[in-house]
Structure 1
Amino acid sequence: MGKFTNDVKSLINYLGGKENIATLTHCVTRLRFVLNDTKKADVNSIEKLASVKGTFTQAGQFQVIIGNEVSTFYNEFISETGIQGENKDAVKQAAKKNMSVLQRGVANLAEIFAPLIPAIIVGGLLLGFRNIIGDMKLFQDGTKTLTEISQFWNGTNSFLWLICEAIFHFLPVGVVWSVTKKMGANQMLGIVLGITLVSPQLLNAYAVSGAKTIPVWDFGFAKINMIGYQAQVIPAILVGFAYVYLERFWKKVSPDSIQMIIVPFCSLVPAVLLAHTVLGPIGWAIGNGIATVVQAGFHSSFGWLFGGVYGFVYPILVITGLHHTLLPIDLQLIATTGGTYMWPIVALANIAQGSAVLGYIYLNKKNVEEKQVAVPACISAYLGVTEPAIFGVNLKRFYPFVAAIIGSGIAGIVSMITGATANSVGVGGLPAILSMQGKSMLPYLICMAIAIVVPFILTIILSKSKLAKVGTK
């Protein structure tokens, strides 16, 4: 008899029987089910199981939070049901039958950017470190930076830019590759196509506004501007999808015997031509337009209100999965302005969720069963992953969630007033301080203090209000 045998049998029953399970997989802490009929799942009974820390439905998947022993539970579940577990990609594809058109669009966008996040995180941390040693005047009575007084750190600063440039300036290569990977097209040609957007022979995107003349390809009857799309996300997405559909078309119409020649040539060359004549300029205009609108809102006299609303609403977007659609906007802001003031608010929202859980832990410090769920959720949120906190504790009890979104809203207001700006995205929770621009670190510490203290205190206060009766135990 396994460790979770009883709970496994109960979970199968509460899910509507094994015949209701289309497929499943697991991640670090959760079982991810695709159910044939989600209405058959008895959520209340599932959440009462001793080994279950919470449940939620996202991206067409019914997810059951188990915790660090999820792999053991998963193996026992497969053994009991005889269902063959699938990899995450297969489960995601199966889950899309339960999703609306909008949800599928959001899921596809998330899957495109997910492989790029580790690189973006590294780049953000390195940019933050370079700001500390290269921009902050901490020496000789505040007149010199570390790189100005030390040849070693000056060399280190220059060396680290090699990595940062590869990540951010050449981001379109990663975006096009990820699109081709997601859509099942030729990934190597996707990489080649991405490189044609950032080739050194092109005028760098950052130099366009100050250039006296723009080089061109002169075909006699027409000229094409030789402009690069360094750090540009939207042009890369458009070009990537154009290539995918060109490849699909030529695969359909080309004889099998010559597909190896026809498909790559007739897909790549037109895609590159479209990139530099139509899609690139359109994508550039769209990206700049989005950045301009967002900037206008956040930099207006009501910018503090935008920050507050964003901090308040962001956790709600996490519940729906729509938060994935905001990542390209952050990246566009970085490409256009050199930093983003949206991501600091996101990180503050992470912290606020963790602090609300911390307040709940304090209220239930003698309840061992509650702490088993809440402590890992709190740590996870402080490190930037809020789903266990939101779905496992805060949303279920409700009043901690209200405390958290109020706290992140207040922190968002202060973040905008102080002008907190991040070099990059991806580093969430408490570690986000490392991705802030040098001048923003001290103001951001104040915002972090607000995101820690306010939700904690509000959770304790609201536990004695009528809101405490709304949630479930």
Structure 2
Amino acid sequence: MKKYEVMSKQLIANIGGQENIYSMTHCVTRLRFKLKDEKSANDELIESMTDVIAVVKSSGQYQIVIGDHVSDIYNEILSQIEVPKKKLPKKNKKISVGTKFIDIVSGIMSPVIAVMMASGMIKGLVMLGEVFGWIDKQSDVGTILVGLGDAFFYFFPIMLGYTTAKKFNIDPFVGTVIGAFFVYPSLQGISLNIAGLSSDVTYTNTVLPVILTTILASYIYKNLKKVIPDVVNMFCVPMLTLLIVSPIGFILIGPLMNKVSDGIADLVMWLYSFSPILAGVIMGASWQFLVIFGVHMSIIAIAIVQMLSNRATPIFTLIGAASFSQTAVVFVIWLKTKDKKLKDLTLPAWVSGIFGVTEPAIYGITLSRIKFFIISCLGGALGGAYAGFSGLMSYQMSGFGIFSITALIGGDMPFEKALFHFSMSNIIAMLFSGIVTFIMYDDESKD
């Protein structure tokens, strides 16, 4: 029997059965369901399951926080059910614009975050190897490693075309072709003039052009399916959709969205330049609240837009200390507690926190001991303030936690200096939260 087969069956039953599932995806630590009726789910039974950390209802999603092995459980559930491809009942459509936006961003970005971090780590390790003289990027091995690290980001529009099409419930390979069209080598940086509209744009490494074009394609695709006879529907619908939407996307939507991307990056940097320290305090203090409600993906998306526009971003460095602060709190609780069950919970929580995965620490330990959660947020604010003060930036996508070191390579700030400021930011956060927790925590205290 597969490792997670029984658990997956129990999850399916406790969320109201297959017939209650409208759609399902996952991010780094969570299963994200859209249910027809959330009241049919048994929250208490789900939360009592061994591998479940918490249940969160946010952004129109029923989120089950699992942890590092979420993808294994996701795949096992998929093997047991067939997620229906039909619309939500009308009563579930009354959600706010902000909630809908976060749901769309999560649905598009969540499936690619893990492999994006992996590719960023490869890029960072290659650059680190070059700094220390371990790797020659011009050698045969170096050339392969550089290509491996760059491949995801160069062809990112293809991935986004696929995930956007899946999110909007059309054939995902229509979105894949749209993404491939955007990065087709012969179309990069050439002057085109169609119906009086000029274009001279490169779309590799971009985000918004393919997303907006694929969203437009989804509406065209669905309407064509209604009017084209079934006998030719299979090939005529994707063909006509691509013929209609691709030129519009390339000539009109693409250049406009590239300007929007630049505008978003400019706005983030304007806010950061107004007061880097204040930005660090706000981001460092609030990051874990955003994680609790599962809406942090929208902030990550902004940082991704910045980096894929070949700009450094302060976002990841301002929020980075928050995970180390949370980890320090849980580490101290692990040291001080004599409660065997709590000690067993805190050990894996602080270990995963070192690598930037803090949901086990938040849901399993600190959120139920709210003053220690607040202490970790204050530590994150102090660490973020230092990161803002020092001008610390991320120059490429990387992993989280300790793995985010590789994001510091390749920018204006020398790596040795960036590493010093990175260390100081996290040490400040950990010292504050660790010392305060050491003073305040005892097994008898109640929240």
Q: TM-score, normalised by structure 1?
A: 0.76
The answer to whether structure 1 residue 284 and structure 2 residue 285 are counterparts is no
1:151 deviates by 5.3
1:368 shift after superposition: 0.1
The answer to whether the 8 A contact 2:159-2:179 is kept is yes
* Aligned-residue CA RMSD (Å): 4.3
Query: Counterpart in 2 of 1:414?
Result: 386
Q: Does 1:193 align with 2:188?
A: no
AA partner of residue 290 (structure 1): I
Any conservation in 1 of the 2:157–2:183 contact (CA below 8 Å)? yes
Of 402-411 and 348-357, deviating more is 348-357
Match of 2:192 in 1: 217
Q: Are 1:299 and 2:273 counterparts?
A: yes
**Once the 2 structures are TM-superposed, how far is the Cα of residue 99 of structure 1 from its aligned partner?**
8.7
Deviation for aligned residue 1:176:
1.0
Q: Against the structure 1 CA distance between its residues 38 and 379, is the aligned structure 2 distance closer, same or farther, given a 3 Å change threshold?
A: farther
**Residue 8 of structure 2 corresponds to which residue in structure 1?**
none
Give 1:232's aligned residue.
Answer: 206
* Secondary structure at 1:61 match in 2: strand
Match in the other structure for 2:126 = 130
Q: 1:169 to 1:455 in 2, by over 3 A?
A: same
Deviation at 1:435, TM superposition (A): 3.1
Distance 1:46 1:222, change over 3 A: closer
Q: Does 1:58 align with 2:43?
A: no
Identity fraction in percent? 23
Deviation at 1:169, TM superposition (A): 2.4
Q: CA deviation at 1:451?
A: 3.3
Letter in 2 for 1:340: T
Query: Which residue of structure 2 lines up, in the alignment, with residue 166 of structure 1?
Result: 151
Aligned amino acid, residue 358 of structure 2: T
C-alpha spacing 1:26/1:85, structure 2 compared with 1 (3 Å): farther
CA distance in 1, matches of 2:49, 2:160: 42
2:208 paired with 1:241: no
Instruction: Find the counterpart in structure 2 of residue 207 from structure 1.
Output: none
| Structure 2: 5+ residue stretches without partners | 1-10
Using the alignment, how far apart are the partners of 2:137 and 2:265 within structure 1?
37
1:407-446 mapped onto 2 (5 Å cutoff): 407-425=379-397, 427-437=399-409, 439=415, 440-446=418-424
Shift of 1:275: 0.9
SS of equivalent to 1:58: strand
Mapping 1:304-383, distance limit 5 Å? 304-364=277-337, 366-383=338-355
Query: What is the Cα deviation at residue 297 of structure 1?
Result: 1.3
Measure, in 1, the Cα distance between the counterparts of 2:293 and 2:152. 29
Q: 1:251 to 1:346 in 2, by over 3 A?
A: same
Amino acid at match of 2:362: I
Tell me the amino acid that sits aligned with residue 155 of structure 2.
F
Closer, same or farther: CA 154–419 of 1 in aligned 2, 3 Å: farther
Give 5+ residue unaligned stretches, structure 1.
Answer: 1-10, 79-83, 139-145, 205-214
Structure 1 pair 42/293, CA: closer, same or farther in 2 (3 Å)? closer
Per the TM alignment, residue 202 of structure 1 is displaced from its structure 2 partner at its CA by: 3.0
C-alpha deviation, 1:239, in angstroms: 1.0
Seen in structure 2, the aligned counterparts of structure 1 residues 228 and 40 have a Cα distance that, compared at 3 Å, is closer
Greater shift after overlay, 153-162 or 265-274? 153-162
* Aligned AA (1:126): I
Q: Aligned partners of 2:68, 2:162: CA distance in 1, in Å?
A: 33
- Provide Cα deviations, 1:3-31, integer angstroms capped at 9, x if missing partner: xxxxxxxx9xxx8x989x95699999989
Q: Which moved more, 1:124-133 or 1:290-299?
A: 124-133
| Closer/same/farther in 2, CA of residues 411 and 42 from structure 1, 3 Å limit | same
- One-letter code aligned to 1:387: E
Q: In structure 2, what is the equivalent of residue 211 of structure 1?
A: none
Deviations 1:194-216 (A, max 9, x none): 12212222345xxxxxxxxxx42
Which residue is 2:6 aligned to?
none
Distance in 2, matches of 1:117 and 1:349, equals 19
Post-superposition shift, 1:318? 0.9
Contact 1:197 1:230 in 2 (8 A): yes
Spell out, residue by residue over 1:111-130, the C-alpha distance to the aligned partner (whole angstroms, 9 max, x if none). Answer: 21122123311221122123
Distance 1:261 1:380 in 2: 47
Q: Counterpart of 2:309 in 1: which secondary structure? A: helix
Question: Taking structure 1 as reference, are residues 52 and 176 closer, same or farther at Cα in structure 2, changes over 3 Å only?
Answer: closer
Cα deviation per residue 1:126-179 (whole Å; 9 max; x = unaligned)? 221232233x3x5xxxxxxx27xx758754443322123321122111111111
Number of corresponding residues: 424
Contact conserved, 1:127 with 1:423, CA < 8 A, in 2?
A: no
Comparing 334-343 and 236-245, the one that deviates more: 334-343
If you compute each CA radius of gyration, which structure gives the higher value, 1 or 2? 1
What corresponds to 1:208 in structure 2? none
Residue identity in the other structure for 2:95: S
| Conserved? CA contact 1:311–1:346, under 8 Å | yes
| Residue 385 of structure 1: aligned partner | 357
What TM-score do the two structures reach when normalised by structure 2? Answer: 0.80
The amino acid across from 1:55 in the alignment is: A
The offset of 1:385, in angstroms, is 1.8
Q: 1:51 Cα deviation (Å)?
A: 5.4
Are the counterparts in 1 of residues 65 and 359 from structure 2 also a CA contact under 8 Å? no
Structure 1 residue 50: Cα displacement:
9.8
Aligned-partner residue type, residue 240 of structure 1? T
CA–CA distance in 2 between the matches of 1:385 and 1:115? 17
The question of 1:177 aligning with 2:173 is answered no
- Alpha carbons 1:357, 1:378 under 8 Å: kept: yes
Question: Conserved in 1, the CA contact under 8 Å of 2:354 and 2:402?
Answer: yes
Instruction: Tell me, yes or no, if the aligned pair for 1:53 and 1:67 is still in contact at 8 Å.
Output: no
Deviations 1:376-412 (A, max 9, x none): 2222222222222111111110122111111111111
Cα distance change of structure 1 residues 151 and 116 upon mapping to structure 2, 3 Å threshold: closer
- 1:275 alignment partner in structure 2: 249
Alignment of 1:391-410 (within 5 A): 391-410=363-382
